[in-house]
Amino acid sequence: MSAVRCGIGYDAHRLVSGRPLILGGVEITFDRGLEGHSDADVLAHAIADAILGALGEGDIGKHFPNTDERIRGISSIEILRHVATVVAKKNARVVNVDATLLAEAPKIAPHISAMRERISQALHVGTNAISIKATTNEGLGAIGRGEGMAAIAVASAELPSSRAPVEGSR
């Protein structure tokens, strides 16, 4: 028997000059990039948190604390590869990921296929298990003013079920 569990992830970063823009593991030509301890890939971070949540394994801050200087600038694809090892150690599998990127610019649609490919490779799943969408914030708030980007993701994972009683049940 197995159990399917869902997790949700969210991430947001400020746009700054002098950094490359990395989204879904793909470098996109733009006048600014996202600020962060890693490459600040909001899409990959939201996906990592969603999968870790489905597994009951905390968030990327637990696995990659921003106080650890040894990982400064780490590729978020490496973070997703780590998440894939956590999945494997739990004898689980990622069923699917559905993610939405919130950004006023640049246009994301031309890059979605490459993003799906990079993410699916890192997670060892087929590209058909990865859905990526993009939308604007219709000019509202910091994202709408082009000051930053955010992403939200939902992931489902299949885990071997445990026959142990649920905490608090009889």
Domain with residue 60: its CATH number is: 3.30.1330.50
Domain assignment of residue 63, given as a range: 2-160
**Mean per-residue pLDDT for 104-125?**
97
What is the tally of structural domains in the chain?
Answer: 1
Q: Classify residue 45: in a domain, yes or no.
A: yes
pLDDT for position 168: 56
Is 47 part of a structural domain of the chain?
yes
Residue 8 belongs to some domain of the structure: yes
Contact 145, 14 (CB under 8 A): no
In a domain, 155, yes or no: yes
What is the model's pLDDT at position 9? 98
User: What is this structure's pTM?
Assistant: 0.93
- Mean pLDDT, rounded, for 151-166: 83
Confidence of residue 161 (pLDDT cuts 50, 70, 90): confident
Is 168 among the domain residues? no
pLDDT more than 90, % of the chain: 89
- With bands split at pLDDT 50, 70 and 90, how would you rate the model's confidence at 107? very high
The mean of the pLDDT values for the chain is 94
pLDDT band of residue 111 (cuts 50, 70, 90) is: very high
Would you say residue 30 lies in a domain?
yes
